[in-house]
A and B are shown apart, each in its own frame.
Chain A
């Protein structure tokens, strides 16, 4: 049986209860909306860019603890990274929560989501922010976990 404590690590619940990056970036160079029809969650991700470099990422909307913590920690780790870095990190993150990836392949702060893999029903909660980020970067505006 999967361990609940591995899913709701203190860092996850802390970022879920007190997110640091909620809001909208100024300026807002990219915007994307994400929707998880399973739980009705909707989030908006905004990005400010300096050329290819991400100056700031913010998110808004309501979601579960996993989705909120993932949005907040994504915003945190992407500051100062390039767009290509962001895509690479998402790839590693996706492998971590839904594939065969290991905690070494993602920035240290994202390793707290290692436990999600044991809860297949919650993978979409963890990846919603990332799908929305990619949609924002690629100008698709809307992302869905379906």
Chain B
């Protein structure tokens, strides 16, 4: 049995009070807290090894380069990529999707081409494709979501016409937590020859991801949603595809040689990493991956599923609570509304009780509209949460009902 209290001990930010109450952090879908080992890795890099990478022959530069590239190897192993070069360092999942849009889609797509996304996407998996449609004349189609928050697979199949050139979908919904059948969706997309992009920002901190098993062409992740620092993420791309693609930003590190007549590109993945990268971020990200591997995805997933079931039980026992989405295949995200109480007020009242949740549209306005809501409350769970945390959530919600319900 997993001892979550020992796990929570590794996260210094969790040990504080908000007013008179112990902090209960239920906003890990926005960003997870950071274990001490990640913080230490970043501090140690700056204290001991700080140097620019790839170019210097001196010792510090070699150490920094080694640590940066070791992180790439760890991340590629975690996701079961076929080689580390398939992992491009970016600022986060948003930049990863924009990279695919601008460097892969923009030069290839044109009028008559269809880009398919789903109704549950985060704005970061909607807007980059809207830009591509404006820039290339391609059109955007949307797969609807069922009442339980799952993707309407029949509609998906009927929307997969031969004109579909790219399908981009969330692995796990940030707003309601649905785990999508991405393997099956990629397989179906391949049957019409479409390129597949999976937004894995909400998946990789919570469940085992095997990129080769999923069979996608691109997979986007953010370090800060899986115990790493902000400002670092990865784009996985199939090696052959990355090789075919032109760079999207020019600068140092992404070139082999430069003259005013001709410039030649560096190899994959450096071709897509112009400028001095977020070295400390990558190293912190690598430490986060090691931490996840130490705990193991089996334990993480099992614990979060238990908490999800318990959390739903706690909330449903309160009069006036309605769960939004709540599909059978769900990650540890509980989206809900309180009858007669605006989510913004719930957020303030819970904060007062020390309970941090997220309220609003969760950067998924189309999904909110689909459920006829302007905003919801979202409690998102993580390996360091406990049943006690969810009891505090329940007490806070009862207080909100008492004040405003």
Spell out A's residues near B (CB within 8 Å).
1-2, 4, 7-8, 13, 16-17, 38-42, 62-67, 119, 121-122, 125
Q: Is the CB of A39 within 8 A of B348?
A: no
Q: A39-B359, A62-B374, A63-B342 are in contact. Are A4 and B404 (CB under 8 A)?
A: no
**Which residues of A have CB within 8 Å of B340?**
17
B361→A64 contact, CB < 8 A: no
Contacts of A62 in B (CB 8 A): 342, 374
**Distance of A42 Cα from B342 Cα, bound (Å):** 13
Whether the Cβ atoms of B404 and A8 lie closer than 8 Å is yes
**Is A39 touching B20 in the complex (CB atoms < 8 A)?**
no
**Which chain A residue has the least Cβ–Cβ distance from B20?**
A1
Is A64 in contact with B344, judged by CB distance below 8 angstroms? yes
Chain B residues within 8 Å of A, Cβ to Cβ: 18-20, 340-345, 348-349, 352, 359-361, 365, 368, 374-375, 403-404
In the complex, chain A residues whose CB is within 8 Å of the CB of B345? 8, 64-66
Query: Which of A13, A42, A63, A67 contacts B404, CB < 8 Å?
Result: A13
Given A1-B20, A17-B404, A65-B342, also A40-B348 (CB < 8 A)? no
Looking at the assembled complex, report how far the CB atom of A64 sits from the nearest CB atom of chain B, in whole angstroms.
4
How many Å lie between the Cα of A119 and that of B403 in the bound state? Answer: 17
- With a cutoff of 8 Å between Cβ atoms, the chain B residues found around residue A13 in the complex are 403-404
B375-A4 in contact (CB<8A) = no
Nearest Cβ on chain B to A38's Cβ, whole angstroms: 6
Known: A1-B19, A64-B344. A39 touches B375 (CB 8 A): yes
Nearest opposing residue in chain A for B349, CB measure? A4
With contacts A40-B374, A62-B374, A121-B348 taken as known, whether A8 is within 8 angstroms of B20 at the C-beta atoms is no
Do B368 and A4 touch across chains, with their CB atoms under 8 A apart?
no
Which residues of chain B are within 8 angstroms of A16 by Cβ–Cβ distance?
Answer: 404
Residues of B within 8 A of A122 (CB): 344, 348
A-B contact count (CB 8 A): 56
Complex contact B352–A40 (CB within 8 A): no
Instruction: Kindly list the 10 A-B residue pairs having the minimum CB-CB distance in the complex, ordered from nearest.
Output: A1-B19, A64-B342, A40-B374, A64-B344, A39-B344, A4-B352, A65-B345, A40-B375, A40-B361, A64-B345
Contact B368 A40 (CB under 8 A): yes
Bound-state CA distance A1–B344 (Å) is 19
Query: Please, how many angstroms separate the alpha-carbon atoms of A141 and B227 in the complex?
Result: 45
With A1-B19, A40-B368, A63-B342 as contacts: A119 and B348 at CB distance below 8 Å: yes
Across the interface, B374 reaches (CB within 8 A) one of A1, A17, A39, A125, namely A39
Question: A8–B20 Cα gap in the complex (Å)?
Answer: 19
Q: A1-B20, A62-B374 are in contact. Are A40 and B365 (CB under 8 A)?
A: yes
5 contacts between A and B (CB under 8 A): A4-B348, A39-B343, A39-B375, A41-B344, A66-B344
Our pick among A1, A7, A42, A67 for the contact of B348 (Cβ within 8 Å) is: A7
B360 CB contacts on chain A under 8 angstroms: 38-40
Which residue on chain A has the smallest CB distance to residue B347? A121
- Given known contacts A64-B344, A65-B345, A119-B348, is B374 in contact with A41 (CB within 8 Å)? yes
Most buried by A among B342, B352, B359: B342
Find the B residue at minimum CB distance from A16: B404
Residues of A within 8 A of B375 (CB): 39-40
Bound complex: CA of A66 vs CA of B349, how far in Å?
12
In Å, the complex CA distance between A7 and B18 comes to 17
B352: A residues at CB distance < 8 A: 1-2, 4
Closest CB in chain B relative to A104 CB, distance in Å:
26
Q: What is the CA–CA distance of A64 and B345 in the complex, to the nearest angstrom?
A: 6
Q: A2 CA to B359 CA in the complex, in Å?
A: 20
Nearest A-chain residue to B19, judged by Cβ: A1
**Complex: chain A residue closest to B17, CB-CB:** A1
Chain B, Cβ-Cβ closest to A4: B352
Contacts of B359 in A (CB 8 A): 39
> What's the Cα separation between A79 and B19 when bound, in Å?
40
Residues of A within 8 A of B368 (CB): 40
Tell me which residues across on chain B come within 8 A of A67, comparing CB atoms: 342
| A64-B20 Cα distance, complex, nearest whole Å | 25
Q: Nearest Cβ in chain A — how far from B17, in angstroms?
A: 9
- B107 CB to nearest A CB, Å: 33
- Bound-state Cα–Cα, A7 to B351, Å: 13
CA distance A62 to B352 in the complex (A): 24
Q: Which residues of A contact B20 (CB under 8 A)?
A: 1
By a CB distance below 8 angstroms, the chain B residues around A119 are 348
Instruction: State in angstroms the CA–CA spacing of A7 and B347 once bound together.
Output: 13
Residues of A within 8 Å of B361, CB to CB, are: 39-40
**B374 — which chain A residues lie within 8 A by C-beta?**
39-42, 62
A145–B340 alpha-carbon span in the complex (Å): 24
Bound CA–CA A17/B341 (angstroms): 9
19 additional A-B pairs beyond A63-B342, A66-B344, A119-B348, beta carbons within 8 Å, are A1-B18, A1-B19, A1-B352, A2-B352, A4-B352, A7-B348, A8-B403, A13-B404, A17-B404, A39-B375, A40-B360, A40-B368, A40-B375, A42-B374, A64-B342, A64-B345, A65-B342, A121-B348, A122-B344
Residues of B within 8 A of A40 (CB): 360-361, 365, 368, 374-375
